[in-house]
């Protein structure tokens, strides 16, 4: 086992994004990243980039220190059963990205290991994730190492585990919500006469610019809005129409619905496994 090896168990949408993020910023050498999937055909391209690709979770776990659980919630029990006989306290730290699965639930399955709940988003592939983290007591010794890993992949925030469902909606689903806004803006631009490519280019850069203003100025969105809204001008006219149509309300209601869905799915799974 090499101390700097990481296993990504379940290389699907998020697992692949994490693997690509870890390797492309040079933080991990490709040969130090093990990725698993039941059918490895569709992740052959990772093997071509030098990553270790296998369909054996246990083989990956034997070689690695950091074990990232990246399967869907319903697939987790299978993976934990696979790896449990190969886990040892001196070697392994478990990191779960799985929505609605508590640290306690994982401890119940595999024992009291260092466990980190992490909630990144797919922008981790391009080192622009926001990753929310919660640690159990055993994982507190590796807290800084974990934060360092995720800081190289964007920004990190340590939160109470109880806030993880809210963070999932805002931070992880948030990528999809932001994409939909960008798509809508693009469609609007096309209706105003821009061609599709130019409209998307503008919408993307405007989103990036807005985010960067808030991050750099540490300002409130309304302060930045005030700088754009000329009295009687076109911005306030458009903004007020968007609010009349329920923009803020739709976003808030969407986040709350997403949060509630996490609770419903969690309760369903707990009932099924009781």
Ligand X SMILES: NC(=O)C1=CN([C@@H]2O[C@H](COP(=O)(O)OP(=O)(O)OC[C@H]3O[C@@H](n4cnc5c(N)ncnc54)[C@H](O)[C@@H]3O)[C@@H](O)[C@H]2O)C=CC1
Ligand Y SMILES: O=C(O)[C@@H]1CCC=N1
Please give the Cα distance from 2 to 137 (Å, whole number).
24
Contact call for residue 102 and ligand Y (CB under 6 A): no
Least Å distance between CB 170 and ligand Y? Answer: 10
**Bridge partners of residue 96, in order along the sequence:** 69, 117
Which of the choices ligand X, ligand Y, none does residue 118 contact, using the CB cut-off of 5 to 8 A by kind? none
Contact stretch for ligand X (CB under 6 A) within 65-73, 129-137, 138-146, 178-186:
65-73
Out of 2, 4, 31, 38, the only residue in the binding site for ligand X (CB under 6 A) is 38
Which tokens is 13 given?
Answer: 């949408």
Does residue 15 bind ligand X (CB under 6 A)?
A: yes
Q: Which stretch binds ligand Y (CB under 6 A): 19-27, 87-95, 168-176, 207-215?
A: 168-176
Q: Per rule CB under 6 A, is residue 103 in the interface with ligand X?
A: no
100 or 189: CB nearest ligand X: 100
Beta strand 93-96 pairing with 33-36: unpaired
Site for ligand X (CB under 6 A): which residue of 2, 4, 78, 249?
A: 78
Helix (H) or strand (E) holding 34: strand 33-36
Per CB under 6 A, the list member of 102, 122, 136, 200 interacting with ligand X is 122
| 174 lies in the site for ligand X, by CB under 6 A | no
Check binding of 12 to ligand X (CB under 6 A).
yes
Rounded-to-integer distance, Cα 144 and Cα 59, Å: 27
For position 172 contacting ligand X by CB under 6 A, the verdict is yes
Distances (CA, A) of 33 to 71, 201, 237, 254: 17, 34, 52, 36
> What would the two tokens of residue 153 be?
């992949």
Rounded Cα gap, residues 67 and 115, in angstroms: 10
Task: Report residue 142 CA to chain centroid gap.
Answer: 20
- Residue 2 sits at φ, ψ, to 5 deg, of -105, 130
- Residues 130, 154: Cα–Cα separation, whole Å: 6
Do the Cβ atoms of 165 and 263 come closer than 8 Å? yes
CA angle 81–86–91, rounded 5-degree value: 125
* 121 appears as a binding residue in the annotation: no
The rounded distance, in Å, linking the Cα atoms of 190 and 181 is 14
CB atoms within 10 A of CB 223: 11
Is there a binding annotation on residue 185? no
Among 30, 73, 154, 166, binds ligand X (CB under 6 A): 73
- Is 199 annotated as a binding-site member? no
Tell me if 194 is assigned to a ligand binding site. no
Choosing from 63, 75, 128, 187, the residue that interacts with ligand X (CB under 6 A) is 75
Q: Which residues are near ligand X by CB under 6 A?
A: 9-15, 36-38, 57, 70-73, 75, 78-79, 97-99, 119, 121-122, 172
Annotated binding site for NADPH: 57
Q: Which residues are near ligand Y by CB under 6 A?
A: 99, 168, 172-173
Annotated binding site: 9-14, 57
């Amino acid at each position: 086992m090499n101390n700097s090896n990481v296993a990504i168990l379940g290389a699907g949408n998020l697992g692949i994004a994490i693997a690509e993020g870890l390797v492309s910023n040079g933080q991990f050498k490709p040969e130090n990243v093990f990725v698993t999937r039941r059918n490895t055909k569709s992740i052959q391209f990772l093997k071509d980039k030098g990553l270790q690709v296998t369909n054996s979770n246990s083989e990956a776990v034997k070689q690695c220190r950091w074990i990232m659980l990246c399967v869907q919630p319903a697939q987790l029990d299978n993976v934990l059963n696979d790896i449990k006989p190969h886990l040892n306290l001196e070697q392994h730290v478990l990191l779960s990205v799985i929505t609605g699965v508590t640290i306690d639930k994982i401890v119940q399955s595999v024992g009291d290991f260092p466990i980190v709940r992490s909630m990144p988003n797919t922008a981790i592939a391009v080192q622009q994730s926001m990753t929310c983290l919660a640690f159990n007591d055993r994982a507190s010794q590796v807290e800084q190492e974990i934060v360092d890993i995720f800081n190289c992949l964007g920004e990190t925030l340590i939160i109470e585990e109880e806030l993880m469902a809210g963070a999932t909606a805002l931070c992880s689903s948030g990528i999809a919500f932001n994409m939909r806004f960008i798509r809508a803006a693009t469609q609007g631009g096309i209706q105003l006469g821009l061609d599709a490519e130019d409209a998307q280019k503008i919408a993307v850069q405007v989103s990036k610019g807005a985010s960067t203003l808030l991050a750099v100025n540490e300002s409130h969105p309304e302060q930045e809005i005030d700088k754009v809204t000329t009295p009687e001008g076109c911005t306030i006219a458009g903004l007020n129409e968007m609010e009349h149509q329920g923009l803020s309300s739709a976003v808030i209601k969407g986040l709350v619905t997403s949060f509630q869905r996490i609770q419903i799915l969690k309760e369903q799974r707990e009932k099924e496994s009781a």
